[in-house]
């Protein structure tokens, strides 16, 4: 539920000013979801995400149904990144005067699609008028076995760095929609941008597989997320450009633009893939035992903090900058 | 978390379109909070409320600190109305470009004040930029003993109708602030408008006292809330104007405006008092045993649905119209 850069600093600042602590809050501000102890039962996960028109979405590139899907998928991705199962969602919707009841219906149809696909019922909400730009705040409540949530802070030097799926689709999809290109040539990328699939199944499998030491979802781009993992785990990292699972569409589109697809893979936000670290001894077994349709790819390893964050491209090494989609700075 | 009138109809409509049901959702859309079963432990309450600048608040009548307090208090009031205890809150904040870091700080200082006063830590949130009007969505997670939540639907004909505190302060406070009157003459009303106190203590006491058959908080005005209770409980009601606990400020201000304070008491929104029904045999004991600083007043009784909703004023009877603060229609 937390984004990078300018906003991240603001959140740290806010956190420092909050005086009420509770032993029940096992993980508060600073991870994908808050983790609350619920006594003898599973821990409770809570994550909230706001999408604001003109800042996070533009209705010229996303139909209302897909916007509804995406609003829920974004929060479900946070639950996946914590290794949890969703229980239910509540929707706070700010509706501009220009929207008809049919428009609201279309949005809810998309929420309902995503709700059904991921078994996360909508339990309630609040619907209010806004003067101009629509706002959707989705809060998802989930569960994870007590003390078993995947945090950002558990990685150690030597752990391997893995990522689910492929990278660059979402940014490519949006770029295609904002261009004069034939979007039907990039349908997978457009679909990833409009209807991202939260990696709940992959996360669940990894939880039972074991050996995962940290996890985050890629909402702001790989560059930015690896910075979060390294900071919270107090490590450095080495990523290998030739191992990045580049999306076909990103490769094709990068060719059109005459730019390296590695940049797209490193910086594409709203991917909603999982970035995680794994005990190195378990990599071969993971490769063998994971047979799901989503790829899982080892893209590098954690190092000591003093080694910094490094991207290895052929025989060249460069520092990974902390940049990504920071809606707050824009 | 749900408001009246136009919005209420929209929510019913939305509810009908949602296809995913879950046995764990004991109470979904249609009460102050959703109630989720958590196995052997207490039930989980989730409530979400959005405050939009220019629709729900105007920064000329409320300082940032008070706005922060109120944003949390509104959701805590929903938890009180369910008979629960708050566990933690998450804050989704849409910050306009015009706000400085100090402005955000002031808002959070108020959230923190309310958080401390009611022992509800802030566990996380999302902070995003908005183009123009600020938006605050507060989601509070609470708990209540399994199967013991106060619902809107449990009242029976013959039950007495009670209300906490006094009525008319909030509307009076806002009216005074929007006038040329000396607001220091109405400081209690202004305080009720700016820093409403969620009736968590009263609700907790009533839960242990027993015999409460339904409850709702007065966010949209008594007229509107009694309509909700009667609809959900399938009853009618008789309220007695001479029993309404009129706020001193409302009486004084009504005098200035030459209007009956009963109208103010019936229609004042954002009161955040509790409206509840009680088994009639228990009224005398409640009067005797409740010794807290907040008044609890019996203002009428539930009747059969066919009797309708009636306000008795001296020897005149009138129908109670379902009107209140409906931000959605405005």
For A295-315, the three-class secondary structure string (H helix, E strand, C coil) is CEEEEEEEEEHHHCEEEEECC
- Contact between B30 and B8 (Cβ < 8 Å): no
pLDDT higher than threshold 50 for residue A240? yes
Residue range B277-295, pLDDT digits in tens: 999 999 999 999 999 999 9
Q: Is the CB of A305 inside 8 Å of chain B's CB atoms?
A: no
Residue range A188-219, pLDDT digits in tens: 999 999 999 999 999 999 999 999 999 999 99
CA distance A172 to chain B (A): 23
Strands A309-313 and A235-240 turn out to be parallel
Q: How confident is the model at residue B326 (pLDDT cuts 50, 70, 90)?
A: very low
Looking at chain B, the whole-number percentage of residues with pLDDT higher than 70 is: 93
Q: Specify the fold of B24-144.
A: 60s Ribosomal Protein L30; Chain: A; (3.30.1330)
Out of A118-122, A319-323, B57-61, B171-175, pick the least confident. Answer: A319-323
Q: How confident is the model at residue A9 (pLDDT cuts 50, 70, 90)?
A: low
Q: How far is CA B90 from CA A52, B47, B67, B126, B213, in A?
A: 18, 11, 16, 8, 30
ipTM for the whole complex = 0.84
Selection from A223, A222, A241 nearest residue A300 by Cα: A241
Residue from B51, B113, B125 whose CB has the most chain A CBs within 10 Å, to mutate: B125
Sheet holding A160-164, edge to edge: A212-217, A274-278, A160-164, A296-304, A235-240, A309-313, A316-319
Name residue, tokens 């933690």: B88
pLDDT for the residue B62: 96
Of residues A126 and B85, which shows the higher confidence score?
A: B85
**pTM confidence score:** 0.89
Helix axes A248-257 and A169-177, enclosed angle (nearest 10): 50
Residue range A92-113, pLDDT digits in tens: 999 998 999 899 999 999 999 9
Q: How far is CA B166 from CA A83, B174, B251, B320, in A?
A: 48, 16, 11, 19
Residue range B43-53, pLDDT digits in tens: 999 999 999 99
**Burial classification of residue B308, based on how many CB atoms lie within 10 Å of its CB (0-12 exposed, 13-18 middle, 19 or more buried):** middle
Residue range A291-301, pLDDT digits in tens: 999 999 999 99
Rounded CA Rg of chain A: 19
Report the Cα A12 to chain-centroid distance in Å: 20
Helix (H) or strand (E) holding B248: helix B248-257
Which residues does chain B have within 8 Å of residue A92's beta carbon, measured at their own beta carbons? 48-50, 92, 137, 139
Residue B57: half-sphere exposure toward Cβ, Cα within 13 Å: 26
In chain B, domain spans = 24-144, 160-319
Strands A160-164 and A274-278 turn out to be antiparallel
3-class SS of residue A146: coil
3-class SS of residue B133: coil
User: Which segments within A53-133 are labelled E, that is strand?
Assistant: 85-96, 122-130
Which residues does chain B have within 8 Å of residue A327's beta carbon, measured at their own beta carbons? 128-129
Residue from B26, B102, B137, B138 whose CB has the most chain A CBs within 10 Å, to mutate: B137
Residue range B127-146, pLDDT digits in tens: 888 988 999 999 999 999 99
CA distance A296 to A299: 9
Helix (H) or strand (E) holding A33: none
CA distance B302 to A108: 36
CA distance A72 to B206: 37
- Contact between B37 and B23 (Cβ < 8 Å): yes
Nearest CA in chain A to B24: A87
Q: Give alpha helix (H) positions in A239-329.
A: 248-257, 261-267, 283-289
Q: What is the mean pLDDT of residues A104-124?
A: 94
CA distance A205 to A207: 5
- Contact between B32 and B78 (Cβ < 8 Å): yes
Of residues B33 and A216, which shows the higher confidence score?
A: A216
**B142, two tokens:** 């609470």
CA distance B24 to A123: 10
Number of H helices, E strands in chain A: 10, 13
Q: Is the CB of A109 inside 8 Å of chain B's CB atoms?
A: yes
Interface A–B counts its CB contacts (< 8 A) at 266
Q: What is the mean pLDDT of residues B207-212?
A: 97
User: Which residues is A240 bridged to in the sheet?
Assistant: A312
pLDDT for the residue A330: 35
Q: How confident is the model at residue B325 (pLDDT cuts 50, 70, 90)?
A: very low
CA distance B3 to chain A (A): 8
CATH 3.20.20.70 at B160-319, yes or no: no
Q: Is the CB of A149 inside 8 Å of chain B's CB atoms?
A: no
**B19, two tokens:** 């296809």
pLDDT higher than threshold 80 for residue B205? yes
pLDDT higher than threshold 80 for residue B17? no
pLDDT for the residue A280: 97
CB contact under 8 A, B124 and A92: no
């Amino acid at each position: 539920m937390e984004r990078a850069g300018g906003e991240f600093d603001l959140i740290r600042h806010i956190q420092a000013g909050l005086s009420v602590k509770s032993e029940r809050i096992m993980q508060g501000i600073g991870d994908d979801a808050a983790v609350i102890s619920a006594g003898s039962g599973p821990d409770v996960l809570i994550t909230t995400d706001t999408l604001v028109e003109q800042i996070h979405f533009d209705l010229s590139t996303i139909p209302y149904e897909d916007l509804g899907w995406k609003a829920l998928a974004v929060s479900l991705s946070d639950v996946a990144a914590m290794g949890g199962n969703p229980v239910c969602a509540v929707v706070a919707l700010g509706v501009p005067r220009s929207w008809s009841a049919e428009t609201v219906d279309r949005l809810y149809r998309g929420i309902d699609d995503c709700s059904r696909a991921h078994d996360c019922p909508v339990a309630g909400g609040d619907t209010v008028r806004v003067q101009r730009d629509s706002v959707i705040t989705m809060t998802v409540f989930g569960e994870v076995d007590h003390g078993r949530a995947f945090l950002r802070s558990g990685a150690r030097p030597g752990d391997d760095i893995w990522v689910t799926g492929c990278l660059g689709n979402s940014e490519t999809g949006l770029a295609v929609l904002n261009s004069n290109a034939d979007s039907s040539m990039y349908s997978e990328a457009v679909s990833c941008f409009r209807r991202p699939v939260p990696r709940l199944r992959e996360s669940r499998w990894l939880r039972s597989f074991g050996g995962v030491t940290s996890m985050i979802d890629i909402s702001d781009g790989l560059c930015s997320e690896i910075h979060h993992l390294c900071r919270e785990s107090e490590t450095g990292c080495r990523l290998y450009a030739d191992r990045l699972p580049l999306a076909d569409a990103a490769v094709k589109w990068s060719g059109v633009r005459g730019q390296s697809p590695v940049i797209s893979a490193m910086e594409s936000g709203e991917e909603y893939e999982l970035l995680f670290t794994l005990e190195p001894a378990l990599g071969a077994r993971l490769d063998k035992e994971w047979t799901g349709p989503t790829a899982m790819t080892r893209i590098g390893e954690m190092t000591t903090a003093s080694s910094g964050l490094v991207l290895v491209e052929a025989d060249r090494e460069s520092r990974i900058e902390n940049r990504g989609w920071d809606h707050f700075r824009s």
